[in-house]
């Protein structure tokens, strides 16, 4: 996998467990520090032995730009977290959408309720698509200063009513969101919290290390059911395994590997 930073990522735990369970001897999955603007050069030097790459921030938009073709979710979001080798070059896919959607469903997220998304970058756009599949039509974007134009356009494409608030303005009482998703990356800002009882609300923080985050702790104290990003990570990785190997992902073996992970992997 490539991105910056990547040392914290548990994706290798998941992919290696999958390859072992599938009997794919000789398959490897490593981390590589690839900074913004360096992805195209890095990919161009990969040998034909490479069947694919996982891409994390800040390279998701560059991954889509360099690809020769792209899947529906990647085109819609305008970013890709997966590159697949094809006969003609590279294909971009976005498995963050299915990872977010599945994680929210497993957490019991209510269907068709107003939602809040913290951030407006590539992962926030994946969250919008996932929330749209959960029936959300009213979404508040909470941003530090200004929402990205491409994220606002996506909301329009999805038929959503988007409301933008800044951290300084606060979230306010209305609309009463039933699903909250923070897409702030590791090391990012601490976001303002809704000042109300959050019983019945499902909140997903894409971060998982260190855990809990201040955002998660604050929401749990207000009664929300909060989940970390590990479930999202599991399901987006499972879809990557399927795309890269052409085989069904061994989900339970991957889940067990995550539960019993060692921090030195």
Positions marked catalytic: 60
The answer to whether 42 and 66 are in contact (CB under 8 A) is no
Cis ω before 12 (30° cut-off from 0):
no
Sheet with 225-227: list strands edge to edge. Answer: 161-166, 138-143, 115-118, 179-182, 202-205, 225-227
Give the relative orientation of helices 122-133 and 149-157 as an angle to the nearest 10 degrees: 10
Report strand pairing: 82-86 vs 52-54.
Answer: antiparallel
- Return the beta strands (E) in the chain as ranges: 2-3, 32-33, 52-54, 69-70, 82-86, 89-93, 115-118, 138-143, 161-166, 179-182, 202-205, 225-227
């Amino acid at each position: 996998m490539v991105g910056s930073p990547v040392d914290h990522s548990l994706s290798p735990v998941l992919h290696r467990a999958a390859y072992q369970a599938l009997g794919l001897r000789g398959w490897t999955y490593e981390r590589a520090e690839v900074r913004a603007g360096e992805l195209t050069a890095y990919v161009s030097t990969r040998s034909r032995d490479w069947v694919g790459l996982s891409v994390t921030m800040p390279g998701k938009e560059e991954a889509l730009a360099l690809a020769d073709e792209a899947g529906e979710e990647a085109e819609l979001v305008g970013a890709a977290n997966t590159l697949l080798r094809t006969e003609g070059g590279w294909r971009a896919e976005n498995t963050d959408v299915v990872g977010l959607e599945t994680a929210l469903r497993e957490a019991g997220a209510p269907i068709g309720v107003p939602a809040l998304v913290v951030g407006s970058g590539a992962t926030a756009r994946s969250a919008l698509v996932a929330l749209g599949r959960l029936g959300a039509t009213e979404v508040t974007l909470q941003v530090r200063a200004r929402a990205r134009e491409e994220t606002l356009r996506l909301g329009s494409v999805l038929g959503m009513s988007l409301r933008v608030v800044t951290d300084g303005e606060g979230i306010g009482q209305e609309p009463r969101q039933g699903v909250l998703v923070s897409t702030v990356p590791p090391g990012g800002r601490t976001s303002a919290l809704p000042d109300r009882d959050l019983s019945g609300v499902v909140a997903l923080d894409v971060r998982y290390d260190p855990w809990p985050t201040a955002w998660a702790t604050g929401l749990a104290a207000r009664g929300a059911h909060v989940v970390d990003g590990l479930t999202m990570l599991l399901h987006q990785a499972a879809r990557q395994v399927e795309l890269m190997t052409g085989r069904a992902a061994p989900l339970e073996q991957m889940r067990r590997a995550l539960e019993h992970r060692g921090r030195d992997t």
